[in-house]
Amino acid sequence: MSDDLISIKSFLGKYYPELHYSATQEKYKNTQLDTFFEQRFLIQNNKTQMIVDPGLHGLTVIITGNEIHISKNLYDHPSVLITNSLENNIKNSNPRSLYNPETFSTIAYLVCQNHTMFQIVDEVDEPIYVKYKSEYESFYNSVIIFEVSTSVEVEIVEEIESFSALNAVTNYILQPLAKISLTTFYQNHISAISFVYRNIIVQDDASYNHILLGKGSANIIDENKIHTYNRSKSELLGVINSDSRKFHSILYVQPVGENYNVNVDYRAVLSGKSDITFFPMIIGQEPAERATISISNITLEEIPTKLIEQEVTKYLGNIIERTTLDRLVGVKRFYDNKIKFFHFL
């Protein structure tokens, strides 16, 4: 173990009391988040940088905390505008103003000095791959913004791979009539812990579709907040393969307009000492007539061994079928991830 490790409690300093208090919120119940503060990590303090990497293939971003590697194909793409807080040098800009102790992952605004925005201004004929990584004994934080212009559609693939502690804040902003089809693959290792927070703004007539394929490690807290505008549509499908580990999903719906549609269908595959929780909440107004949330599970130990593949395939059915891309170029990586995830079937 490195001699340079520092406890999160010490690192947070004056912010520790309010974050520790926020960890006791109902939504974080059973996540053991409060134990994180005493744990020790290497805190990333290297120079923040964004690198255009010609060695990366396709439309790819690799995020390791303050360091952002972007493929040349993505950086040069005419439909994608990339700006970085290091380059903008905006006067009177205070990223810490976005910190909110009610959402643990927003500590990224206190730690990460490198905020990167991807503006999708026209059609993109390949999926964009965004990989979040952390190294052994480290605690990495990142802040990313994706903004999709009016009437534009884009497919984004998140790959989350942590060897220690990873905290990612990703803002998805959909202008009117825009559409994001997002797929998330968790590829964590057993000693890892991940905090992922998506702040999603779905403006008038826009559509946000998310398929989450989650595989637990030591602990995962996957938190989402959706701001729903008039006639917006949001669908969240999920398969959680606990693999005897922990996965906690949190969903807040913040209505901005009265006429919106939210559909959630999460299915868990339980085995061993599984610990999977789901905390949904619609804030403010009464739920829209077509706001539906379905959470269910299946336990492998309750199924005869020779019938497991058949029964689990049947149970997950349409989610497996819908885990596809509309694009035809740059998709091999996506389908390789899908095969790897569903290998347990």
Q: Is 59 exposed, middle or buried (0-12, 13-18, 19+ CB in 10 A)?
A: buried
Q: How far apart are CA 177 and CA 168, in angstroms?
A: 27
Q: Which of 13-27, 185-199, 272-286, 313-327 comes out lowest in average pLDDT?
A: 272-286
Token pair listed for 148 = 């999709």
* Residue 169 C-beta-side C-alpha neighbours within 13 Å: 24
Q: Which of 112-116, 294-298, 301-305 comes out lowest in average pLDDT?
A: 112-116
Q: Report yes or no on whether pTM surpasses 0.75.
A: yes
Helix, strand, or coil (residue 137): coil
Q: Is 16 exposed, middle or buried (0-12, 13-18, 19+ CB in 10 A)?
A: middle
Residue matched to tokens 């990339």? 82
Q: What pLDDT is recorded for position 220?
A: 92
Q: What pLDDT is recorded for position 92?
A: 47
| Average pLDDT of the chain to the nearest whole number | 90
DSSP secondary structure string for all residues of 13-78? GGGHHHHHHHTTSGGGTTTTGGGGGG-EEEEP-SPPEEEEETTS-SSEEEEETTEEEEEHHHHT-T
Find, among 246, 277, 36, 293, the residue nearest to 139 by Cα.
36
pLDDT, one tens digit per residue, over 34-89 is: 899 999 998 876 667 899 999 999 999 999 998 999 999 999 999 999 998 755 55
Residue matched to tokens 């690198």? 51
Domain boundaries defined on the chain = 6-344
Q: How far apart are CA 178 and CA 174, in angstroms?
A: 6
